[in-house]
Structure 1
Amino acid sequence: MTDRLTGKTALVTGAATGIGLSVASRFAAEGARVVFADRDGDGAGAAAAAAPEGRGRAVTMDISDEPAVEGAFAELAAAGWSPDVVVANAGVQLFGKDARIADLDLEHWRQTIDVNLTGTFLTVKHAVRGMLLNGGGSIILTGSPTGLNGEGADFTAYSASKAGIHGLARTVAAAYAKENIRVNTVVPGYTETTLVTAITSDPESRAAIIGRIPLGRAGSPADVEGIMVFLASDDAAFATGALFAVDGGMTTL
């Protein structure tokens, strides 16, 4: 660890498991105070408790519920934990329910969009409000190759939500650059977490996906930590509105 984030306060959504947990834990190890935010309050609490002393704080937050998001940011500001780094990472992928558009139920479309896109919008909205009061900051969104190409043809809602996230990041980056708020998107490829258990438990599906990755292996949450640390740090002071792929080369094909 390099202490690249000493002096910063970060909030990471979806921090109880997977990429969010890995990134939040790495931020704490790099010297930041970190808010582990998740709708699973117990999971967020356990993750925060494992951080170095004084660097972890948990908050229960359903990102699709604006009063919950607004209340969490207000609570943090009152406690002196207003974040200058926010990672909007939480999301869902409804395996067995998301489908090609002719077969997709409106309920499952709305469920996905409400969490992935609207939840990201609400997280970014209230992050920006706080950063405007505090002189700026860094916002990092979690995208997907399915929002860039036809990789997720059987996941209409998920792919559309991630494409929306990519567009949202660019728009907010342009709108708030003069206020010293940077907004970037990290695009992990196939990363083995509990979110994709339906794939990891099916050897044929897993092999088919890995066969399309030039580096020849699945990603892990740890593969995403480094680029997140960079974007959160002052080393990335001139980076905004960009997409950073961490996908083993998948989107080069």
Structure 2
Amino acid sequence: MAVDLSDGEESRQSARMGTRLAGKTALVTGAAAGIGRAVADRFAAEGARVAYADRDADGAVAAAGASGGRAVPMDVADEDSVAGGFAALAADGWVPDVVVVNAGVQLFGQDAEIADLDLDVWRRTHEVNLTGAFLTVKHAVRGMLTVGGGSIVLTGSPTAVRGEGAEFTAYASSKAGMHGLGRTVAAAYARRGIRVNTVVPPYTETGLVSTLTADPVARAAIVGRIPMGRAGTTDDLEGVMVFLASDESVFATGATFAVDGGMTTL
């Protein structure tokens, strides 16, 4: 059935279809939903062949099927799972030269100020957010070294660079570790053709933060700290991700790109 689009929406969708990533092979973690799904879909629209990696195997299949991509069941906290996912792709000639490290968890109702934080919550958060980033980047780099380089993009957080995460000790520290990991790997592999950059998203209303979205007071407090006056959307992040994945950003590495409505400028 045809969809009637306004002129503005039609132009916007047309502008988001291109060939900026033609010839690229991309893998996006956490690609079954939220930011990961939006970025993976945009990469596909820009001409890349895209692997949708997620521990939600059914969700990955559904997302990949909608865009013509490939689903990769992957638990980023399990090295065998990560290594197996990359190996399966490589066996079919799909060595990613673009990897978006996006999978993460935020344990609302469990994460807390440090005096009240359970060790198990700390460990579970870091296992996915930081160890998961380490494992994904490790195996991404191994593959990229075989194809002459590539671009790795980390999905960071405002909580990593300022005190937005006062009540989320585990989450904020795991994201701060991710930022540090990105700078370290960028420095280590710059001369071998591998770039690593971090994107700081805004407070973005996806399933990850549904607890906050459902609380009008908490939501208003966060949005009130964003100079541009609104919550972010996945659309706000796609453009910078495409830029960093493409050859347009060939001299950018070890950098942090804030796309957060000014939230981290204050």
> Shared fold by TM > 0.5?
yes
SS at match of 2:39: helix
Cα offset, 1:2, TM superposition? 2.3
| 2:180 equivalent to 1:164 | no
Query: Can you list the C-alpha shifts for 1:26-68, whole angstroms capped at 9, x where unaligned?
Result: 000000000000000000000000114xxx0001000000011
Cα offset, 1:189, TM superposition? 1.5
CA distance in 2, matches of 1:91, 1:181: 23
| 2:66 equivalent to 1:45 | no
SS at match of 1:183: strand
Query: Can you list the C-alpha shifts for 1:134-191, whole angstroms capped at 9, x where unaligned?
Result: 1000000010010001111000000000000000000000000010000000000100
TM-score (norm 2): 0.93
| 2:252 equivalent to 1:239 | yes
TM-score (norm 1): 0.98
SS at match of 1:87: strand
CA distance in 1, matches of 2:246, 2:147: 16
SS at match of 1:138: strand
Partner of 1:16: 32
CA distance in 2, matches of 1:223, 1:193: 13
Identity percentage of aligned residues:
74
Among 160, 163, 168, the alignment partner of 1:155 is 168
- Following superposition, which runs of at least 4 residues in structure 1 exceed 2 angstroms of deviation? none
SS at match of 1:172: helix
Partner of 1:3: 19
Query: Can you list the C-alpha shifts for 1:95-137, whole angstroms capped at 9, x where unaligned?
Result: 0000000000000000000000000000000000000111000
SS at match of 2:67: coil
Among 168, 181, 198, the alignment partner of 1:185 is 198
Partner of 2:123: 110
Flag the structure with larger Rg: 2
| 2:53 equivalent to 1:34 | no
Q: Which amino acid aligns with 2:30?
A: G
Cα offset, 1:222, TM superposition? 1.1
Partner of 1:66: 79
CA distance in 1, matches of 2:168, 2:89: 35
Flag structure 2 segments of 5+ consecutive residues without an equivalent.
Answer: 1-16
Partner of 2:70: 57
CA distance in 1, matches of 2:146, 2:19: 26
Cα offset, 1:3, TM superposition? 1.1
CA distance in 1, matches of 2:51, 2:235: 19
Query: Can you list the C-alpha shifts for 1:71-105, whole angstroms capped at 9, x where unaligned?
Result: 11010000111100000000000000000000000
CA distance in 2, matches of 1:136, 1:115: 25
